[in-house]
Structure 1
Amino acid sequence: MPISPNQGSTGGGTTVTITGTNLSGTTAVRFGNKSATGVTNVSPTEVTAISPSGSGTVGVTVTTPGGTSNPVSFFYVGAPFKQTISPTGGSTAGGETVTINGTGLSSATSVAFGANSATPAVVSDSQLTVVTPAGAAGPVGVTVTTAGGTNNGLTFTYVADPTITSLTPDSGPTSGGTAVTIAGTALTTTDSVTFDGTPAPFTVLSDASLSAVTPPGAAGAVDVVVSNDAGSATAADAYTYIAGPGI
């Protein structure tokens, strides 16, 4: 007499389907010493019922005018508990592999990032990974659903990829030290600015601009790259280092 699903929340409320033979006239379904609710005799070979609250592993039996069946196992599962999420942010395009650590994660079936859900890969009862769906820029709650219920409390921040539209000024001495204003979009969460691969100190002024101080560099045009959690924007040959005069 199989039962599906064979696990559910300790709080009860799981709708299960029991299949077997001679199930007509079912009068009761019991989970251990507790009676199920919503018992429906679908056919002579199928009964549905809603699990009561419980814990651990219990035997499920069906009672008909002909007697009571042998028990089949049903496993009560506690609600998941989430501790950490890493990374805590990523691109609005999605595609970021996120690791969630906690407890009670072995039966996870869904992870929601705000209104959008994804199917996780369970690593162990204490860890799962999931690839983020696309989402709008900003923080969203992360909810894990398991056979034991749902739990939230973690936050993932969607970040738009940065863009660069202009540099002012767009040239300066090879000695560096020039304050350059970089205009673009999605610059609020900038975590790196480089000139020809060399990191530059910077200050975010707004989502549309930041100020960076050029490091020393060799004469010529170089790429400027702005990066955040979502990705990076490259302005090719956007800044020109100018060698000083010699006598």
Structure 2
Amino acid sequence: FFYVGAPFVASVSIGSGPTAGSNTVTIRGTGLSTASSVSFGANSATPTVVSDGTISVVVPAGTAAGSVSLSVVTTGGVAGGLSYTYVDAPTVSTVTPSSGPTTGGTAVLLSGTDLATTDSITVGGTVAPFAVLNSTTVSLVTPPGDAGATDLVVTTTGGSATVVGGFTYIAGPGV
């Protein structure tokens, strides 16, 4: 017979992620060496014990976007008090304007949904500077690119949205 103390969770490495799950988070605390389950709201996953103070777990898919309670089950009891936020994947419905010169520098507005947590935008594979205006609108400035249609890719905490051929570079007159 031996006594296992109650667990305590102090932090989660990443507090939000895609509703689809599949990202890995690290949970730190004490008494975690016997962790058998981590619950993200109503959904559970089996953790990997790294040490008595650290476990890692692949986040299960959520049922909807929003904040859920996070708890860890161990031989010594259940530790809670942390939360995790599921974020929906973005969508892009309009690109205005959808064309500009190969020299870049075109100010573009993207409209869609779930754009508030935008981490990066690429145009034809090249990172573009951007500003999040609100959850449905992002502005960007196109980098230089080769003539022709290119894909726009918006990456957020919730995932990525690709607009195939979303921006067309137009070559200027030859010299």
Which TM-score applies when normalising by structure 2?
A: 0.90
Query: Which runs of no fewer than 5 residues in structure 1 stay unpaired?
Result: 1-72
Of 31, 36, 59, which aligns to 1:104? 31
Say yes or no: does 1:77 pair with 2:77. Answer: no
Of 53, 59, 70, which aligns to 1:142? 70
Spell out, residue by residue over 1:17-50, the C-alpha distance to the aligned partner (whole angstroms, 9 max, x if none). xxxxxxxxxxxxxxxxxxxxxxxxxxxxxxxxxx
Equivalent runs, 1:154-169 vs 2, <5 Å: 154-169=82-97
Spell out, residue by residue over 1:131-152, the C-alpha distance to the aligned partner (whole angstroms, 9 max, x if none). 2222221232211121222222
Deviates more, 1:163-172 or 1:146-155: 146-155
Of 209, 218, 234, which aligns to 2:162? 234
> Separation in 1 of the partners of 2:124 and 2:85?
29
RMSD: 1.7
Displacement after TM superposition at 1:175 (Å) = 1.7
Give 2:101's aligned residue: 173
Of 114, 118, 126, which aligns to 1:190? 118
Say yes or no: does 1:94 pair with 2:21. Answer: yes
| Partner amino acid, structure 2, of 1:133 | P
Equivalent runs, 1:4-23 vs 2, <5 Å: none
Which TM-score applies when normalising by structure 1?
A: 0.65
Displacement after TM superposition at 1:124 (Å) = 2.4
Give 1:152's aligned residue: 80
Which protein has greater RCO, CA pairs closer than 8 Å, 6+ apart?
2
Say yes or no: does 1:200 pair with 2:128. Answer: yes
User: Helix, strand or coil: the match of 2:118?
Assistant: coil
Displacement after TM superposition at 1:117 (Å) = 2.1
> Separation in 2 of the partners of 1:154 and 1:173?
49
> Separation in 1 of the partners of 2:155 and 2:82?
24
Query: Which runs of no fewer than 5 residues in structure 2 stay unpaired?
Result: none
> Separation in 1 of the partners of 2:89 and 2:20?
9
Deviates more, 1:200-209 or 1:165-174: 200-209
**How many residues matched?**
174
Spell out, residue by residue over 1:35-91, the C-alpha distance to the aligned partner (whole angstroms, 9 max, x if none). xxxxxxxxxxxxxxxxxxxxxxxxxxxxxxxxxxxxxx2x22222122332233221
Spell out, residue by residue over 1:172-229, the C-alpha distance to the aligned partner (whole angstroms, 9 max, x if none). 1112111111122211111101111111111222222211111121211111000012
- Between the two proteins, what is the percent identity of the paired residues? 60
Structure of higher CA gyration radius: 1
